[in-house]
Amino acid sequence: MDAERKAINDNLSRGDIKDFALSSDKEYQIKSAKESIEARKKGNDIYIKKKHTDYDHRMILNYYNKSIAYAPNESEELMYAYSNRAYLLMHINKYNEAIDNLDKALQLTNSTKMKLKLYCQKVKCLAALGSSRKDDVLKEIDEIFHTSKISVEDATFIPIIIEKTKSEVASIKRYEPKNPKLLQEKEERNKIINDKEKVPFEFVEIKPTENIGRGLYAKTDFKTGDIVLVEKPCLTQPDFANGHVLCCHCLAVAWTGIPCETCHEYIFCSLKCKSMAWDEYHHTECSITPYIIQRNSEILKWTHMSLKFIISLVKENKSIDELKSKLKISKNNKIEIVIDKPGQKSELFNKLMRLSYKLPDNKYVGGWGDIHSNCAASTYTVETLILLLKYSSFFSGNLRTMQYNKYSKNENFIFIGSLLLRLVKMNAINGHNISDTTPSAQKNYYAKGRGLCTGLISSMINHSCSPNIRKCFSDEMKFVYYAVEPITSRTQLLDSYDACFYETPKSMRRMQIYTTFDCHCIACEGKWPPYLVHGMSEFITAYLQENDPKFWSLEKSYLDKIKPLKAKMSDRAFYLRKDSIQTVTNLMNEILIPQPSIARSNLLHVVNHALQTYHGLTEPFENC
């Protein structure tokens, strides 16, 4: 890890890093009733609008979750925030989740009036669910009313609420989802996805390629639309901007989000996620997250994903010294932790480290990691280390008071820094952005991104500007790779890390993959033309019409078939249907023209859109 140690040391001698270390940051109030009330009011302002868009719902949840996260423990603000979120959930027909929130609010109030109001909402939810439990709750309401001490003012007001609720409940119809067939189809899709995940190596295998390290190969034939690989990411990191909408541990929408008792930045979808996060990394992360978020940046997210893993490694190995003693570094700079028990974080660390060794001319060092080793990646790594030192007890207490000029001489500080930087570089090469696949999310890719992740098998997939597979993320945040054209057994499976040759010229494609490597794909080496889908295709069409009329007439016959499918690209409901997917994939299975072709490229564009829509992660409020 000499290169990483050097990068850390070089950064520590920079004036701006020293200023950063010695500056006193703004003190963060960990919980704040004022902030909680403000967030709730912002949510209410949107909630009272007559008509809501999906985006409004997302923003309301964001503010109510924020209000919950900021509210002091056991406070009235927390009770109001849970209660308001219950109203939102009822409004979008999520009755079970609303009941969960109402129950949480009920535990936080002693006011009879408030209790009765919350119970009245609960009865409505139970009625909408068609549950006979509503009658028990109605009895409970009567009992509370008759046995509790009630002020004179409330004694006139409460019976009116109770009577109104009873008459409303009598007319509430059981809630039926709008389109049960679509939901049933979704369940079928999820079953296929989950079955594939269990046996990845029945369908694919990892083998050396001729010139770009290892690659993933088909072990069987695939038809267009077949799922080739499903994998659950092993590292994840939520987008900071979505911190209050998503569970910070599993990235699911936090409908019934539970706050961290200490910090106000994190919300978890369940007690399970909360305790897993706390055990693994949040015990340390908790005190530095506000400072990290303040310095929000794209690359900092990568550093943070790696940091959480390093914290969990130290925790598993009991101390930094013990981890150090178990870490073996070989002469060719490979690193490995000695494993005592299988299935631990240390074992995952070894697997993650192996991801980046087999690249030709050690591209791991020559790629993104190295370009930035004295810039972004190592700067953020050093800043993260300094925040750890200043605001957490990750390094032992005596390091906290250490003078700045001693940092670079402190073995633990440099050791953790070099390990972190190594992991950041690995993630930069192998990581993925997780984004929602609905049309509005696509328009605003980064804003609607859920976060980042890295997977072990998916990291073996090489890039091609003319890919034969593409990916999306399932609602359970799993990688789903599907075939976009027929693939024969033993063919290399290639995805595009960004744009395809027919959409973007080579110079821009290089920019988009951050100039990590010189692309050796068939389209780049064969100098295929760009823009077969948009723009330039008109010129190429004219050229073909004039110079190669026979080929053009074949292209034209396919383009005529593709045109109506392309026109439907903004009709999401169309592409959520199994029969539409079959129409599109059958056409691709039958097309006779090889690349580079205008028709084939246009069809690939449609096939990818269709399969992404069909299998992909939905926006949090879609179909609410």
Ligand X SMILES: C[S@@+](CC[C@H](N)C(=O)[O-])C[C@H]1O[C@@H](n2cnc3c(N)ncnc32)[C@H](O)[C@@H]1O
CB distance 438 to 612 below 8 Å: no
> Which residues, 205 to 224, sit near ligand X by CB under 6 A?
212-215
Residue selected from 121, 236, 256, 430 as contacting ligand X according to rule CB under 6 A: 430
How many whole angstroms separate alpha carbon 346 and alpha carbon 342?
Answer: 9
Helix (H) or strand (E) holding 228: strand 227-231
Nearer to ligand X, 268 or 368 (CB): 368
In the list 65, 346, 459, 612, the residue contacting ligand X (rule: CB under 6 A) is 459
Scanning 8-16, 129-137, 277-285, 516-524 for contacts with ligand X by CB under 6 A, the matching segment is 516-524
463 part of the interface to ligand X, by CB under 6 A: yes
Shortest distance, CB of residue 209 to ligand X, whole angstroms?
7
Give the total of residues touching ligand X (CB under 6 A): 21
Residues 358, 561, 572, 577: which binds ligand X (CB under 6 A)? 358
Contact 263, 520 (CB under 8 A): no
Closest separation in Å from C-beta 509 to ligand X: 10
CA–CA dist 132, 129 (Å, integer) = 9
One residue of 407, 473, 481, 517 binding ligand X per CB under 6 A: 517
Which CB sits closer to ligand X, 302 or 558?
A: 302
Considering the complex, what minimum distance in angstroms separates the CB of residue 82 from ligand X?
Answer: 43
Tell me the β-bridge partners of 215. Answer: 207
The answer to whether 351 and 364 are in contact (CB under 8 A) is no
* Rounded to 5°, angle at Cα 510 from 555 and 298: 120
Instruction: Give the span between the Cα atoms of 73 and 613, in whole angstroms.
Output: 41
Q: How far separated are the first and last CA of the chain, in Å rounded?
A: 50
Q: Would you count residue 33 as binding ligand X (CB under 6 A)?
A: no
Side chain identity at residue 333, one-letter code: N
Among 273, 387, 521, 587, binds ligand X (CB under 6 A): 521
Residue 615 CA to residue 229 CA, distance in Å, equals 13
What is the Cα–Cα distance from 210 to 213, expressed in whole angstroms?
7
Q: CA 606 from chain center: how many Å?
A: 24
| Residue 454 binds to ligand X (criterion: CB under 6 A) | no
Residues whose CB falls within 8 Å of the CB of residue 416, separated by 6 or more in sequence, listed in order: 310, 314, 320, 385, 388, 394, 395
CB of 351 to ligand X, least distance (A): 12
Distance separating alpha carbons of residues 563 and 599, to the nearest angstrom: 10
Give the shortest CB-515-to-ligand X separation in angstroms. Answer: 11
Structure tokens at 148: 């509790």
- Strands 227-231 vs 479-483: parallel, antiparallel or unpaired: antiparallel
Interacting residue with ligand X among 429, 483, 484, 606 (CB under 6 A)? 429
Q: Which stretch binds ligand X (CB under 6 A): 139-147, 354-362, 447-455, 562-570?
A: 354-362
Residues whose CB falls within 8 Å of the CB of residue 170, separated by 6 or more in sequence, listed in order:
none
Q: Is the dihedral of CA 412, 415, 418, 424 positive or negative?
A: negative
For residues 585 and 587, what is the distance between their CA atoms, to the nearest angstrom? 5
Among positions 42, 283, 324, 520, the unique one binding ligand X when judged by CB under 6 A: 520
CB of 338 to ligand X, least distance (A): 24
Q: Assess contact for 227 and 212: CB atoms under 8 A.
A: no
Helices (H), 355-410: 363-366, 368-371, 376-391, 397-400
Q: In the range 363-382, which residues lie near ligand X by CB under 6 A?
A: 363, 367
Q: Which is nearer to ligand X, 429 or 607 (CB)?
A: 429
Contacting range for ligand X; rule: CB under 6 A; set: 191-199, 280-288, 455-463, 473-481: 455-463
**8 Å CB contact between 415 and 268:** no
Looking only at the bridges linking them, the beta strands covering 494-495 and 462-463 are parallel
Binding status of residue 523 toward ligand X by CB under 6 A: no
428 binds ligand X per the rule CB under 6 A = no
Q: Which of 519, 587, 603, 607 forms a contact with ligand X (CB under 6 A)?
A: 519
Strand partners, 480: 230, 472
Identity of the amino acid at 239:
D
Contact status: 245 vs ligand X (CB under 6 A): no
Comparing CB distances to ligand X, the nearer of 4 and 383 is 4
Give φ, ψ of 184 to 5 degrees.
-65, -40
Q: Which is nearer to ligand X, 103 or 498 (CB)?
A: 498
Packing angle of the helix pair 2-12, 411-430 (nearest 10 deg):
110
Q: Which is nearer to ligand X, 196 or 214 (CB)?
A: 214
Return the range that interacts with ligand X (CB under 6 A); candidates 145-153, 320-328, 370-378, 459-467.
459-467
Nearer of residues 20 and 357 to ligand X, judged by Cβ = 357
- Token output for 191: 């079953």
- 506 interacts with ligand X by CB under 6 A: no
Report, in Å, the least distance between residue 367 CB and ligand X.
Answer: 5
The residues in 84-123 that bind ligand X, with binding defined as CB under 6 A, are none
Residue 40 engages ligand X in binding (rule: CB under 6 A): no
String of contacts with ligand X for each residue 160-199, x by CB under 6 A: ----------------------------------------
Stretch that binds ligand X, among 21-29, 116-124, 159-167, 457-465 (CB under 6 A): 457-465
Q: Which residues form the interface with ligand X (CB under 6 A)?
A: 212-215, 355, 358-359, 363, 367, 429-430, 459-460, 462-464, 516-517, 519-521
